[in-house]
Structure 1
Amino acid sequence: MSGCSGGVSSQPAAGMQQMDLTKLSLQQLAQLKQHVFQELTILQDSLQTLKIAQTKFVDSGECVEKITPDTKGKEILVPLTGSIYVPGFIADTENVIIDIGTGYYIQKDVVGAKDYFKRKVEFVTEHMEKIQSMGIEKTKIKDAICEVIEEKTSQSAKVNT
C-alpha cells in the first residue's frame, strides 16, 4: 500500500508509506492508479458482502425478538433453503436453533440468541466502518494520483506546443 504527498495532506496510515507522486512518470502513475482502483473495488465488494451479512443478522435478531410465550403452537414457515419453506409450528418458545455458519447450528435460549445476533451485528458494523475509512483514504489517494496525472499531462501538452 502506498500513500502520497502530491495532493493528499494527511499523514500516512499505519502500514502505508508516503511517496511524492510528482516524481513518478506518467506510466508509473497510471499503474499506481490502476492498483488503487483495484483496491477500491475489493473494498467495495467487501463492504457489500458485510452489508448482506449485517442485514441477515439484524433480520435473525428481529425474528428471535418475536418469539414469546404467546407464540407457542403458532404456525410459521420454516426455511429449508434460501427459497424453500415448509409449514411448521413453534413448539418451544424458550429455546431456538440458530445457524452459526458453515452448516453448524446450535441451540440457545432466546436471551442468548438475541445477545448472539446483537454481538454479530456490532462485529460486522465495526468491520464495515474500518473498510469505509480505508475506502475514504484510497479515494483520496486516487484523487491525488488523478490530479498529478492531469498536471503532468497539461505540462507535457504545453511543452509540445
Structure 2
Amino acid sequence: MAQPGQQTINIGDLDIAQLGDVKKQLEEELSHLTNSFAQLKQAQNKFKQCIENVKELGQKENKDKALLVPLTNSLYLPGKLVNPEHVIVDVGTGYYVKKSQAQAVKYYSQKATYIQSNLEKLEETISRKRENVSVVVQILQQKVSSQINAGGPVPGAAGPARPGQSKVKG
C-alpha cells in the first residue's frame, strides 16, 4: 500500500532496464536491512552476556576478588570487587548509573526484550523485501525471455559478433 505522497507504479509496465534498476535498489535495501539485523542481534547478545556477568559478579564469594576493570575496549585496570551487591551500568552516551544486581539484570533484560521486538519487526520487513526481489526477478526473466523469443535485442546483453570481430577482448 502506497503511503501519502508516494506514487504507485505497476512493475509489469517497466522496461527491462528499469526493472534491473528496481532489482538493484531492492537488493541494496535488503543488504542494508540484513546488516542491521546482524548488528541488532549482536547488541542483544551483548545485553544477554551482561545479564550473565552481573549474576556472576553478584555472588557472595566474589567479595574482595581481584579483577580487571575495563576503561575502554582495549584498556583495563586492576581492581577489587568491594560490594558485589551493586554494579555500575552504562546507560548510554557516557552516563553510568549505580544499580543493585536485581535492577541491573532487569535493565539489561528490558533492553534485550526491546531489541527482540525490533528484530521480529525487522525480520518481517526482510521477508517482504525478499519477496519483492523475487517478484521483480520473475518479471525481469519473463520480459527477457519474451524479448529473446521475439528476436529483439536484450538491453545489457552483447549482440552477435560481426565477421572478423571478437566478442571477447583480451
Q: Judge conservation of contact 2:2–2:8 (CA < 8 Å) in 1.
A: no
Following TM superposition, by how much is the alpha carbon of 1:41 offset from its aligned partner in structure 2, in angstroms?
A: 1.5
Distance 1:57 1:29, change over 3 A: same
Determine what percentage of the aligned residue pairs are the same residue. Answer: 31
Distance in 1 (alpha carbons) for counterparts of 2:12 and 2:148 = 16
TM-score by length of 1: 0.85
Considering only CA atoms, is the larger Rg found in Structure 1 or Structure 2? 2
Equivalent position of 1:46 in the other structure: 36
Larger relative contact order, structure 1 or 2 (CA cutoff 8 Å, min sep 6): 1
Distance in 1 (alpha carbons) for counterparts of 2:62 and 2:3 = 51
TM-score by length of 2: 0.81
Partner-residue secondary structure (3-state), 2:43: helix
Deviating above 2 A after TM superposition, structure 1's stretches of 4 or more consecutive aligned residues are 12-21
Equivalent position of 1:8 in the other structure: none
Out of 148-157 and 12-21, give the one that drifted further: 12-21
Residue segments in structure 2 that go unaligned for 5+ positions in a row: 153-170
Distance 1:68 1:13, change over 3 A: farther
Residue among 43, 52, 55 paired with 1:62: 52
Following TM superposition, by how much is the alpha carbon of 1:69 offset from its aligned partner in structure 2, in angstroms?
A: 2.2
Distance in 1 (alpha carbons) for counterparts of 2:28 and 2:55 = 41
CA-to-aligned-CA distance 1:83-113 (integer Å, 9 cap, x gap): 2222211111221101111211111111000
Equivalent position of 1:106 in the other structure: 97
Partner-residue secondary structure (3-state), 2:150: helix
Following TM superposition, by how much is the alpha carbon of 1:13 offset from its aligned partner in structure 2, in angstroms?
A: 9.2
Distance 1:88 1:102, change over 3 A: same
Equivalent position of 1:116 in the other structure: 107
Q: Does 1:23 align with 2:13?
A: yes
CA-to-aligned-CA distance 1:49-90 (integer Å, 9 cap, x gap): 212211211111110011122211111121111122222111
Equivalent position of 1:157 in the other structure: 148
Out of 32-41 and 134-143, give the one that drifted further: 32-41
CA-to-aligned-CA distance 1:108-146 (integer Å, 9 cap, x gap): 111000000000000111111111110010000001101
| Pairwise CA RMSD | 2.0
Partner-residue secondary structure (3-state), 1:160: coil
What code does the residue aligned with 1:82 have?
N
Residue segments in structure 1 that go unaligned for 5+ positions in a row: 1-11
Count, aligned residues: 150
What code does the residue aligned with 2:13 have?
K
What code does the residue aligned with 1:85 have?
Y
Q: Judge conservation of contact 2:69–2:77 (CA < 8 Å) in 1.
A: yes
Distance 1:60 1:14, change over 3 A: farther
